[in-house]
Structure 1
Amino acid sequence: MSRPLPSHGLLDRVFRILFPGVMFLLLNGCSSVSYYSQLASGQLQLLRAREPVAKVIADPSRDASLRTHLIHSQKARAFASEHLHLPDNQSYRLYADIGRPYVVWNVFATPEFSLTPQNHCFPIAGCVAYRGYYSQSAARGEAALQRLQGMDVAIGGVEAYSTLGWFNDPILNSMMGWGDERLATLIFHELAHQRFYVKNDTEFNESFATFVEQEGTRQWRAFRGLPPDTDARLKQRDQFIELVLETRSRLEKLYAQPMPAEQMRRDKAAEFEQFRRDYQVMRDSQWAGDKRYDAWVNMPLNNARLLPFGLYDQWVPAFAALFRQVGGDWLRFYAEVEKLGDLPVEKRKAALKILAVTDS
């Protein structure tokens, strides 16, 4: 059973009094007060917008499709704790309408001739390859400043994020455009972050959560008597990611070469054009002309736009192998994941590489 939780009002008061001051003390002045002030105020707005999902479902004056969507979400939420042994708390048993299509906008930045991201470090989440803004205009302002400094920059809207269990995360209106199963996968993924998280290792954390999402979804479909998902779109997604990763690999080799900046700039542009040609061949010869990725491919490309690819699935095969080794026992699996997370980073990566080979 879940433990009793304080009221939303009490959490809001505690957050309002303590969180901004604690953030400023912990962050050691590593960036402007205004940036962290908008983080605090944005999180507070989200907390204050929450209401119990059960209350929304029971209210006949609320949108019928919203209520139906939330009913399905709560079935997946119960499955997550009862069958996947994910945290049993109020996260995703609350709903919040924040009145915008994204909860935050992330700004990614890299040097012009490097795929190494500009990292930003936080006391709870550790170091990540982006900065988040609750206002799209503020994100655009930060991006403009980075471009003036010669950086490659990209902005990405985010429909959901996890506070890693520090607060009870709600289902957001920004998630309501998804189908019932996609919303379930998001719940599994974000609760996995609450289950276990290692500071400063994005590849480990996201691959772990992605495996839990994928295996959890497979079991969720079986629980409801549905066949495995053989959607061709999943194969297309994997093929597209592989194409992006191949382009990244070629760019990394290019940037390691000693050459004048103008020549490297031309060769960089040529690599992106090669990526577009390869994509068009794959789209027309293997996907029957499916244009789902055309808009992304035809936008201006730079290093920063490639950053998110690979972060979410690099070690998924390793976690899949580990799950098989423990006989599909979730509790034993989580215990082994925690052992991996406790290792020094180089030993952790070496162990994951061994597991990934086992899976191949």
Structure 2
Amino acid sequence: EAARLQLRGLDTHVAGVEAYSTLGWFSDPLLSSMLRRNDEQLAALIFHELAHQRLYLPGDTAFNESYASFVEREGLRQWRSSRGLPEPDGQGRARYRQLVELLLQTRERLAGLYASGRPEAELRALKQAEFVRLRQRYRVLRDAHWDGDRRFDRWFAQPLNNATLVPFGLYDRWGGAFAALFERSGGDWGRFHAEVKALAGQPADEREAVLLGVER
């Protein structure tokens, strides 16, 4: 399929995933790839995928993934607390957020280029220049601000194109809004899930307005 899309001049990205949800249609699979995770990582994965099984809104990936990602983070925090473990180290998440911001900035600049009406050959050259710039900015972030933390080097070692940038921002787009909804629900999971379900039933523009409002 990727080859057919490439023949049409489209960027493609083929990658594996460690887990997925069937959204309640079948028993979710337990895959050997999950066993590479430690207990904490496995618990986070289960929280995330069970959230998808509980609620899934067709056609709104950012809503679905932000919701599941919040359930994962808060579920993991409570899981650790129930075992007398300290709060998770926020450094890794903070660095991931910085990386996502860097990638989203690149995506915005590329969108501006594609809307500029420049000749195709010029756009292709400018596109490649943006990816060179992205790699340079990442190295500065890694070496000057992250003490040489190389955890994202493998991702940057692959060929980069439009398709590789697509997932970023979807899993965290409404993270702050769902955190605010959870707080507004008094930390009660039942009330929280009911409020999210009601929100999912609203038209897309009204739903986004609510999310923007609570996020502030």
- 2:52 pairs with 1:193: yes
CA distance in structure 2 between the aligned counterparts of 1:296 and 1:326, rounded to whole angstroms: 38
Number of residues of Structure 1 aligned to a counterpart in Structure 2: 216
In structure 2, the residue matched to 1:181 is 40
In structure 2, the residue matched to 1:337 is 196
Larger Rg: 1
**Could you list the per-position Cα deviations for residues 93-142 of structure 1 after superposition, in whole angstroms to 9, with x for gaps in the alignment?**
xxxxxxxxxxxxxxxxxxxxxxxxxxxxxxxxxxxxxxxxxxxxxxxxx1
- 2:20 pairs with 1:165: no
In structure 2, the residue matched to 1:242 is 101
Kindly, what percent of the aligned residue pairs are identical? Answer: 55
Q: Which of the pair is proportionally richer in helix?
A: 2
CA distance in structure 2 between the aligned counterparts of 1:353 and 1:260, rounded to whole angstroms: 37
Indicate the SS of the match to 1:203.
Answer: helix
CA distance in structure 1 between the aligned counterparts of 2:55 and 2:10, rounded to whole angstroms: 33
CA distance in structure 1 between the aligned counterparts of 2:178 and 2:138, rounded to whole angstroms: 29
CA distance in structure 2 between the aligned counterparts of 1:156 and 1:241, rounded to whole angstroms: 18
CA distance in structure 2 between the aligned counterparts of 1:290 and 1:194, rounded to whole angstroms: 35
TM-align CA RMSD = 1.0
In structure 2, the residue matched to 1:117 is none
* TM-aligned CA deviation for residue 217 of structure 1: 0.4
Q: Which of the pair is proportionally richer in strand?
A: 1
Indicate the SS of the match to 2:20.
Answer: coil
CA distance in structure 2 between the aligned counterparts of 1:292 and 1:145, rounded to whole angstroms: 33
Partner residue of 2:205 out of 346, 351, 360: 346
Counterpart amino acid of residue 179 in structure 1: N
* TM-aligned CA deviation for residue 298 of structure 1: 2.8
CA distance in structure 2 between the aligned counterparts of 1:351 and 1:256, rounded to whole angstroms: 30
Question: Any unmatched runs of 5+ in structure 2?
Answer: none
* TM-aligned CA deviation for residue 250 of structure 1: 1.0
Counterpart amino acid of residue 195 in structure 1: R
In structure 2, the residue matched to 1:299 is 158
CA distance in structure 2 between the aligned counterparts of 1:286 and 1:347, rounded to whole angstroms: 40
**Could you list the per-position Cα deviations for residues 6-36 of structure 1 after superposition, in whole angstroms to 9, with x for gaps in the alignment?**
xxxxxxxxxxxxxxxxxxxxxxxxxxxxxxx
Higher RCO, Cα 8 Å, sep 6+: 2
**Could you list the per-position Cα deviations for residues 179-207 of structure 1 after superposition, in whole angstroms to 9, with x for gaps in the alignment?**
11111001000111111111111110110
Question: Any unmatched runs of 5+ in structure 1?
Answer: 1-141
